[in-house]
Amino acid sequence: MVLNQSDLKCSVALCTYNGEKYLAELLDSILSQSVSASELVVVDDCSTDGTVLLLQEYAARFPQLKLTVLEENLGPVGAFQLAIQSTTYPFIFLADQDDIWKSNKIESMLIAASDCPKDKPVLAYSDLEVIDEKSAEQNPSFWKMAGLEPHQATFRSLMFGNVVTGCATMINAKMKQLLSSIPSGVLMHDHWIGLIGYGFGEVILIDEPLVKYRVHADSVTEKKQSSLLWKIRVQLDQIFDRSSDFLKKEINQIVLFDQQFGRFLSPEKQKYVERFVALKHQSLVKRKLVSYLRQTI
């Protein structure tokens, strides 16, 4: 498919925080796409390393880079909300500071979303290739490595946990409009976007990995594990988590979602919300059992 000129107008929203080490690789990959972004909106969330200086150097060379340096830390949700709302064009790509984009990412996602309705919130997201701190490939599919099954994801399953990876995401102007107010208590912006998309929007899945997703050795070690082992580990963590707050943050997030968007949900999905919120008053064992089975909601 050949994109029309009007289809090529898009923005990239990037938030940075002490990301100097890998940032140049990301910026270079965004600025060398087969279809160029019309603007790159960057919000720096009070970095204390050389991140801002690096961004200023790139902004001097690339006028499409629009930099905002915050004086007060907003955190990832607030910073991404500001970056998204600062964009101009009808399609918006989200980026993380330490990843690398495949050269066809923008083009592939714009083609995939070219026929989407403009009056519905659109979420498009792709698989990711997992790389390490030296940019060496560790796994060709993040979805398989993490045991994720996005093609089976539903609004109901997203209430329990997120499968949408922000840095592999593109949204449209209608989704941007709905993100103008993200309440305190939302777990992460990409989870919130996922709930909107699966709740009453349009979701596009791209099986191809369009991002090289950097996994740091000091934060996780699962990058060398098979998807089966990773999935078993996640399930065991849920079973043996003794926290009395298990699932309560997710329930609170759905309460916030219902307050803001419940009127847009189908009657069936409204019932899912009611049953999920009711788990707040159930025992820890019951919450764990329902979380494991999920289809019982």
Domain coordinates of the chain in residue numbers? 5-224, 227-293
- Extract the runs of DSSP E, i.e. beta strands, from the chain: 10-16, 39-44, 65-69, 91-95, 100-101, 122-131, 137-139, 169-172, 202-214
Domain 5-224 has CATH 3.40.50.1980: no
Length of the chain, please?
Answer: 297
User: What are 21-53's pLDDT values in tens digits?
Assistant: 999 999 999 999 999 999 999 999 999 999 999
Mean pLDDT in residue range 53-71: 97
Token match 């026929």: residue? Answer: 115
What are phi and psi for residue 5, nearest 5 degrees? Answer: -60, -35
User: What are 186-241's pLDDT values in tens digits?
Assistant: 999 999 999 999 999 999 999 999 999 998 765 443 333 444 444 545 555 555 55
Whole-number Å distance between alpha carbons of 9 and 90? 7
CA dihedral 232, 275, 203, 83 (to 10 degrees): -90
Write down the pTM of the prediction.
0.90
Token match 């699966």: residue? Answer: 198
Q: Which residues have CB under 8 Å from 20's CB, separation 6+?
A: 47, 49, 50, 51, 54
